[in-house]
Amino acid sequence: MTHAHITTWVIALILFFVTLSLQKTNSPKAKMMHMVLRLFYVLIIITGAILLYMLASIPPLYIVKVLVGLWVIGAMEMVVVRTRKGTRTQPAWIQLVIAFILVLYLGLKLPLGFHLF
Ligand code: HEM
């Protein structure tokens, strides 16, 4: 299941950059790609929830991991919406980078799946 979780967020990351590049060229496909990206947000949450369900108890660091995971999704959504509206994206990008580094660290530190840290 950790593989399914990793697959969903890697695909979401790719779709995120594809959506941004389609938006920059004003492509009509950008809206559709954004909808597919949103579907992947849901899949990330579902696979993450299944991982949580597999645990006998949920230590506090898992709660932090879930919140930071949701923060990554929120920041991605902010970047996409702000790019579409043409408003300032820098604060959203900064949040995205910080939250992404944190979530990778927490995910790889926690006991399921791979542990790099
Ligand atoms: C884009 C957002 C997210 C990213 C980049 C991300 C990244 C990761 C990574 C790298 C791992 C480690 C996998 C492994 O060790 O094999 C992981 C594990 C996990 N993730 Fe996420 N995640 C995200 C969102 C979420 C969300 C929203 C939830 C909860 C609903 C969640 C729950 C979990 C759980 C429970 C684990 C298992 C932790 C462990 O290794 O013991 N994740 N995630």
From atom 22 of ligand 1, which residue's Cα is the shortest distance away?
69
| 116 belongs to a structural domain | no
pLDDT of res. 85: 95
- Express each pLDDT in 43-98 by its tens digit: 999 999 999 999 999 899 999 999 999 999 999 999 999 999 999 999 999 999 99
Can you give the pLDDT at residue 1?
86
Long-range contacts (CB closer than 8 Å, 24 or more residues apart) made by 37-43: 37/12, 37/76, 37/80, 38/77, 40/8, 40/9, 40/11, 40/12, 40/15, 41/12, 41/73, 41/76, 41/77, 43/8, 43/12
Ligand 1 atom nearest to CA at 55: 35
Tell which atom from ligand 1 comes closest to the C-alpha of 41. 1
CA of 91 to the centre of ligand 1 (A): 24
Quote the pLDDT of residue 47. Answer: 98
Question: 66 CB under 6 A from ligand 1?
Answer: yes
Report the domain count for the chain.
1
Is residue 91 assigned to a domain? yes
Residue 114 counted as domain residue: no
- Per-residue model confidence (pLDDT) at position 113: 84
Rounded distance from Cα 38 to ligand 1 centre (Å): 17
On average, the pLDDT of the chain sits at 96
Q: Which tens digit of pLDDT belongs to each residue from 13-51?
A: 999 999 999 999 999 999 999 999 999 999 999 999 999
Per the structure, the complete domain to which residue 83 belongs is given by 2-109
Tell me the average pLDDT across 101-107. 97
> What pLDDT does residue 21 have?
98
Residue 96 belongs to some domain of the structure: yes
Question: Tell me, what's the pLDDT at 117?
Answer: 78
